[in-house]
């Protein structure tokens, strides 16, 4: 089969995929219909503009086509106006300039949750059977190189800066040493400091004094931008506020150590719990109230894949509502020291526009436009470009704004979420220049890419469970 005929996958990656922390639900009837119509429409549009089907599906016109189809199918499925929609233009489906106007932009994009796996060293386990392993190399370990990660993030998407987020995995294929090598390479290639790293902390794993001393050693050796913890993995379960005497009592000592060592930013996984109570965000509000000197970045914002988000329910909070209830009970309002992060959450809901409107609307109402931050959990989901494009095109309906008090997603609010909020939080100057190639060349790089529109994480429940077990992630 000729290279131009190889199907690269659809441009907005709505098919099931997990980051290894939850079981990917099967594709909904809506997503299946969107995929069917997109392929039909893409074939017609590609022919009209004189492109191969592959080139078209890798272009911004392909993304605009799919978002237009998604908006139309959502209206049909809900038999009326959904709570959210994607706004492009008819011209964007066949005019590359119009597509770039609709889905592109010069916004500063700062991804505060970036992951990749480095299997170039003996970390103690096999290379997983992910699509990423089939990159064409004789040794699948080479498919997980630092160079490939930087290429997917900076050359295949509009991302300007990224935070490498620590993992709770046994053997840790994203160790501090790996992150430091990544930063050094990015600095050398890009000529600026656009990659930051988090310090990994496991306060419940072994003697607490040893864990706290390891934090001090890590802080001395590396330029850490924040601290990352999983309260439900990497050791016995614990809470930030130590409210449960049956759990490991390490939260207060850990937060005090962060305050002593700096930097004063705690990124904590909350949500995607696989049933673990320790991944609930109920402890965020009390911890933030007790430590006003610290900023808490709540990864995933408490979202659970098994729960459909709707209007805020104070009487029986689930999913994101648990986080909102926790900070409200602590009297922490918009602009406080708690930040809601969108990694994997936006990816999970962007194929369901009404749910996406509730997610973004509730977070903006509860935390304010200055305290919602961009993250993608990539490269589990391949290049994050489709998440960026979908977010740029997304709007909350006027009906939902009036009914639930959600704000309109103005260009100013989107610019804050995509990067400006995190730049202020991390105390960095936004880097808006491209690394190696300019924005005009990104389109060509995407179309020439051998990766296509791939995701790299497990796409089935069995695959996700295998990853969790291999890396000892709690699934109870």
- The per-residue pLDDT for 5 is 58
Q: Is the peptide bond before 263 cis (omega within 30 degrees of 0)?
A: yes
Q: What is the pTM of this model?
A: 0.89
- The per-residue pLDDT for 16 is 81
- The per-residue pLDDT for 2 is 47
Backbone φ, ψ for residue 40 (5° rounding): -65, -45
Tokens of 42: 């893409």
How far is 186 from 182, CA to CA, in rounded Å?
6
Residue in this structure with the two tokens 């994050």, named with its chain if needed: 384
Q: How many residues does the chain have?
A: 476
Tokens of 255: 């937060």
- The per-residue pLDDT for 172 is 56
Please report which residue ranges of 110-191 form alpha helices under DSSP H: 146-150, 176-190
pLDDT in tens, 39-68: 999 999 999 999 999 999 999 999 999 999
pLDDT per residue, tens digit, the chain (476 aa), is 344 556 889 999 998 877 767 777 788 999 999 999 999 999 999 999 999 999 999 999 999 999 999 999 999 998 778 999 999 999 999 999 999 999 998 899 999 998 776 666 555 566 666 656 666 677 777 677 777 778 888 888 999 999 988 665 545 556 777 778 778 877 777 778 898 989 989 999 999 999 999 999 999 988 899 999 999 988 999 999 999 999 999 999 999 999 999 999 999 999 999 889 999 999 999 999 999 999 999 999 999 999 999 999 999 999 999 999 999 999 999 999 999 999 999 999 999 999 999 999 999 999 999 999 999 988 778 889 999 999 999 999 999 999 999 999 999 999 999 999 999 999 999 998 877 544 444 445 445 555 555 656 666 666 666 665 555 544 33
- The per-residue pLDDT for 449 is 53
| Domain 110-426: homologous superfamily in CATH | Metal-dependent hydrolases (3.20.20.140)
| DSSP per-residue letters across 249-268 | S-HHHHHHHHHHHS--EEEE
- The per-residue pLDDT for 438 is 45
Residue in this structure with the two tokens 């990853």, named with its chain if needed: 467
Residue ranges per structural domain of the chain: 3-103+453-470, 110-426
State how beta strands 224-230 and 265-269 pair. Answer: parallel
């Amino acid at each position: 089969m000729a290279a131009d005929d190889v199907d690269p996958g659809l441009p907005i990656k709505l098919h099931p995929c997990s980051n290894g922390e939850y079981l990917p639900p099967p594709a909904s009837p809506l997503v299946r219909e969107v995929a069917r119509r997109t392929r039909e429409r893409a074939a017609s549009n590609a022919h009209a503009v004189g492109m191969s089907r592959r080139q078209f599906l890798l272009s911004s016109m392909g993304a605009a086509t799919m978002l237009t189809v998604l908006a139309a199918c959502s209206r049909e499925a809900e038999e009326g106006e959904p709570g959210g929609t994607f706004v492009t233009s008819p011209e964007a489906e066949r005019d590359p300039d119009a597509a770039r106007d609709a889905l592109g932009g010069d916004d500063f994009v700062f991804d505060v949750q970036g992951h990749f796996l480095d299997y170039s060293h003996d970390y103690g386990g096999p290379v997983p059977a992910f699509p990423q392993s089939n990159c064409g190399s004789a040794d699948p370990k080479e498919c997980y190189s630092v160079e490939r990660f930087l290429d997917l993030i900076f050359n295949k998407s509009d991302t300007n800066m990224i935070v490498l987020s620590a993992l709770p995995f046994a053997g840790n294929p994203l160790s501090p040493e790996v992150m430091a090598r990544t930063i050094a390479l990015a600095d050398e290639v890009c000529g600026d400091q656009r990659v930051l790293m988090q310090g990994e902390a496991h306060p419940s794993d072994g003697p607490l004094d040893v864990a706290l001393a390891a934090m001090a050693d890590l802080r001395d050796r590396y330029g850490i931008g924040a601290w990352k913890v999983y309260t439900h993995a990497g050791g016995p379960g614990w809470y930030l506020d130590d409210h449960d005497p049956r759990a490991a009592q390490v939260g207060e000592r850990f937060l005090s150590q962060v305050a002593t060592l700096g930097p004063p930013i705690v990124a904590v996984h909350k949500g995607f719990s696989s049933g673990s109570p320790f991944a609930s965000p109920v402890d965020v509000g009390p911890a933030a109230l007790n430590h006003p000197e610290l900023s808490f970045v709540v990864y995933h914002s408490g979202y659970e894949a098994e729960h459909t988000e709707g209007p805020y329910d104070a009487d029986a909070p689930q999913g994101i509502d648990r986080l909102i209830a926790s900070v409200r009970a602590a009297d922490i309002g918009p602009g406080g020291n708690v930040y809601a992060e969108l990694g994997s959450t936006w990816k999970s809901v962007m194929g369901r526009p009404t749910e996406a409107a509730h997610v973004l609307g509730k977070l903006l109402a509860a935390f304010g436009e200055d305290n919602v931050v961009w993250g993608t959990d990539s490269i589990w989901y391949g290049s994050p470009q489709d998440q960026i494009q979908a977010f740029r095109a997304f709007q909350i309906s006027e009906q939902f704004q009036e009914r639930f008090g959600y704000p309109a997603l103005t260009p100013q609010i989107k610019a804050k979420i995509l990067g400006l909020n995190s730049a202020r939080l991390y105390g960095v100057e936004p880097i808006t220049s491209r690394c190696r190639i300019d924005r005009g060349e990104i389109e060509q790089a995407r179309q020439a890419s051998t990766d296509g529109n791939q995701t790299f994480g497990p796409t089935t429940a069995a695959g996700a469970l295998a990853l969790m077990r291999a890396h000892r992630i709690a699934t109870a």
